[in-house]
Structure 1
């Protein structure tokens, strides 16, 4: 084992081989503490895996993260899958990725049942009255966070600014389907990489490693393990198994309830959604809203906002809000009959989660050995940068929708809008953007405020 001097004059040795059981316990713990959205989840993994446990070096961690940034799907969950796969082969990747999701699924099924069963109770309704403006503020914070990372000065990247503005107009006013926005942005990136490559340099990445925390189990110069080397036979096997894992449950759902049945349509719709989640959950939410609320009417717009609020307060990827969508849709459509509403909702939530996350596992297990070497080459990263710029506009349209919705839901007497909700949203935005308050404390404060206002008869 190698050793280097530590900052305090100590000598650090690289960790010895990590048993699978020890890694499993860590991934299980991570599933219950992964609050704070992708930024918070990645920070937790960095602190635990790079700084404290030193299972992977800073440079290798960022290299894996940058690869996950190129993929559709939740980057934090994919990063856990990637590191688990690198350490303990396919089983390690599956366990790490699954345990990142399963605690959130169980918690959201329970909270969704409480919501549909007791959502009309006064104090519960008051909680959601306060949470909705907080969610609008959180979406605005996401616009700022992603925009500040992607859009530099308009003079430096005018094409990216134009892409963001065009995507906002396309979604908010022209109601262009989200997949078309993604495709158009990717084409802009492909062309832009050839014509004005400087505008697309450095977008969407996470920088380079700057610090060493001592020798790691998977260090900067540790050879790629044999199972992570590219082989055509392995790629074919992973793709074949992945196709089977998609076809078998889809065929079963279609055979039992028909292709146009609720569960089969949920599986197909969320498969498509999983392939469009460039830029994180906020980017795909407009597409989920278009399908789940407007097209299939599995739930209402108000319920969609409430589901996002629940997703913000639970561990795991924010895209797990789709489990809430599935539960409410399965409950309202009575997919297992009127005498099994909970089981129908839980089954629908599970189906939605399966088809949403299956592609994420396949992207890592199949593409990890193949695509890593392409990172950092502008012709590959430019489409991602353009899509991320479009995501800024898309999320902005989502924020506008939320603000309009909360303003109109309970208008102040004598006024066309709900001034109280807008005031709560403004206060939450100031807390998040100006004072850098955490998401959970802001949601909790807004929820208590809404409950007190509702009980006092003010809202």
Structure 2
């Protein structure tokens, strides 16, 4: 029986690895709703139901994953899997978390590319794009409410927004600056920069244990620099091997190599998850490389929103369309599938590197208050970055044409109000009201939006 200890850090009978696999498969199957929903599913199953890990230990792992580039929910699953069953536990948890979304988006990408010109496909995604805008705005409000507790946090969020929206500041620079400000603020003004979570209690009033319960993994692992170097070399090689092979086999200018290099770079700057980097990724994929047509990024995000797994899995759709459009001897569909596999590999392998390399050291830093202060500032900066994404999406959903204005080192997008799409604006507003006011689930909102958008789009097509 998996009963929790009443207090302290207690070890009990280790959890069988097979049971861990079954639970991670269940988590993966229920991982809808973006990172917030996925983290909630893990919390409910691992903390509340199974009682395999305490509340504070769960939050400590989550805090570290939020500081990392890449999908925080997938990395959190990998971290806890590592705690419970070592490296094999982390691999199973992380791979199972990605697998359902990978298979789903692969199938949807093939259908999308093969029938993209069909009116019914365009009609479905007409409504989904508007609903995705509402989902991004809802995520912004949810994360902002949690992160912006004091006026310094509001200032950090505002500064991050201006830096990226107007001046195209690099993501790593914004994150590094926010972490530094949070670290210094936690030292000089802890009341405004440091929020210490009270120790949780169970239903019977006893203190929730902090350590992993029933540990059979790495809860007491002692980090060494020799082990860290070995881990970095192993996982760095696994990450880099396909890129080197592509350069040697097809050359640096082939679409497969370009995709591998681009998304490898993206893997180290995707702080804040998918929402924080989609605007940059869409711009590069559309304008610089031509892998996507304008507006297709929203279609891809709609796929990622409606399938299980991390939202950053949208990169698979970008890779598929790039390979599909620049197909050579393999043919369009086969090239798209190969490209999507390459992109998925270079996006998610680094996640295992960050966890297996850093988690042993992070476990030794539990309780360091300045780390929490730095995290709070980073989360505030991410709110500003997501605000940039929300405005970028809103402009592209609501207007058919945007003009660019430059001056004093800044760049602003100005909409042509004569090109406003009233139907998209109405659908997006209705979807946002449904989620915020009536608490309707994301999947139902997407389905209804797709249905309404389809009917409107097909009616308009029939009338022309």
Q: TM-score, normalised by structure 2?
A: 0.86
Cα deviation for residue 369 of structure 1 reads 1.3
Are 1:267 and 2:260 matched, yes or no? yes
Q: Quick check: 2:259–2:319 contact (8 Å CA) kept in 1?
A: yes
Cα deviation for residue 415 of structure 1 reads 4.8
Alignment partner, residue 72 of structure 1: 69
Q: Quick check: 2:2–2:50 contact (8 Å CA) kept in 1?
A: no
Alpha-carbon distance in 1 for matches of 2:14, 2:449: 46
Which piece of structure 1 moves more, 36-45 or 423-432? 36-45
Cα deviation for residue 438 of structure 1 reads 1.2
Are 1:394 and 2:394 matched, yes or no? no
Change (3 A) 1:186 1:338: same
Alignment partner, residue 328 of structure 1: 321
Alpha-carbon distance in 2 for matches of 1:221, 1:241: 29
Q: Residue 48 of structure 1 is aligned with which of 39, 45, 48?
A: 45
Alpha-carbon distance in 1 for matches of 2:397, 2:213: 50
Alignment partner, residue 116 of structure 2: 119
Cα deviation for residue 283 of structure 1 reads 1.2
Change (3 A) 1:64 1:433: same
Cα deviation for residue 192 of structure 1 reads 3.3
Cα deviation for residue 312 of structure 1 reads 0.3
Which piece of structure 1 moves more, 227-236 or 432-441? 227-236
Alignment partner, residue 246 of structure 2: 253
Alignment partner, residue 404 of structure 1: 395
Alpha-carbon distance in 1 for matches of 2:225, 2:119: 60
Alpha-carbon distance in 2 for matches of 1:384, 1:268: 29
Cα deviation for residue 46 of structure 1 reads 2.1
Which piece of structure 1 moves more, 296-305 or 206-215? 206-215
Q: Quick check: 1:27–1:99 contact (8 Å CA) kept in 2?
A: yes
Q: Quick check: 1:192–1:200 contact (8 Å CA) kept in 2?
A: yes
Q: Quick check: 2:285–2:292 contact (8 Å CA) kept in 1?
A: yes
Alignment partner, residue 9 of structure 1: none
Change (3 A) 1:143 1:217: closer
Alignment partner, residue 431 of structure 2: 428
Q: For residues 6-17 of structure 1, what are the structure 2 equivalents within 5 Å?
A: 16-17=13-14
Change (3 A) 1:2 1:437: closer
Q: Cα deviations across residues 207-258 of structure 1 (Å, max 9, x unaligned)?
A: 7533369999965697985773223332222111012112211110111122
Q: How many residues align?
A: 443
Cα deviation for residue 316 of structure 1 reads 0.4
Q: Residue 94 of structure 1 is aligned with which of 91, 96, 104?
A: 91
Which piece of structure 1 moves more, 233-242 or 443-452? 233-242
Q: For residues 127-276 of structure 1, what are the structure 2 equivalents within 5 Å?
A: 127-152=124-149, 156-157=150-151, 159-202=152-195, 208-211=199-202, 219=212, 225=218, 228-276=221-269
Alignment partner, residue 32 of structure 1: 29
Q: Quick check: 1:293–1:301 contact (8 Å CA) kept in 2?
A: yes
Alignment partner, residue 411 of structure 2: none
Q: Quick check: 2:264–2:346 contact (8 Å CA) kept in 1?
A: yes
Aligned-residue Cα RMSD (Å) equals 3.1
Cα deviation for residue 16 of structure 1 reads 4.3
Change (3 A) 1:429 1:368: same
Change (3 A) 1:278 1:385: farther
Cα deviation for residue 49 of structure 1 reads 2.1
Q: Quick check: 1:50–1:56 contact (8 Å CA) kept in 2?
A: yes
Secondary structure of 1:306's counterpart equals: helix
Cα deviation for residue 439 of structure 1 reads 1.0
Q: Quick check: 1:62–1:208 contact (8 Å CA) kept in 2?
A: no
Secondary structure of 1:173's counterpart equals: helix
